[in-house]
Amino acid sequence: MSWEIDRAEVVAEVKAAFDAYEAALMTQDLEVLAQSFAESDYIVRFGVNDRQHGAGELATWRAAQPPLPPGRTLSETVVTTFGSDVAVVSTCFSYPGRPALGRQSQTWLRFGNRWRIVAAHVSEVPHPVS
């Protein structure tokens, strides 16, 4: 199989979906966060100290979480697309005064005209990362 990697218009679509997800994460917009993931029992999210399998488990967990600390910043964000329907987004994140660097990766699939996350992984490592 041959993949067209990083077609500009597909990268732009996924970047917009990722930015909307990030904005919802910062404002605790549970509706947008839920809509950002595929509505499936097959999705998986591994967090720093948690894990969810399936959209229902993820929605229940998300509703119980407090808002993120203020000042979250992203760096080294990379959007890689494969064809017109598959993408991977990787980014680093940090918070002021927090002695760890966060790492986040997401696999996105196109469902009709909408991009949704089907797998996500979040981890933290002590500063500095080499």
Residue 127's pLDDT band (boundaries 50, 70, 90)?
confident
List the Cα angle 56/114/119 in 5-degree steps: 45
* pTM of the predicted structure, to 2 decimals: 0.93
> pLDDT tens across 94-109, in order?
999 888 999 999 999 9
Residue (of 39, 88, 33, 93) closest to 61 by Cα position: 33
Does domain 8-126 sit in CATH 3.40.50.300?
no
More confident residue, 130 or 92: 92
Find out whether 127 and 98 touch, Cβ atoms under 8 Å: no
C-beta atoms surrounding 60 within 10 Å = 11
Determine the pLDDT at residue 30.
Answer: 95
Both tokens assigned to 29 = 């917009």
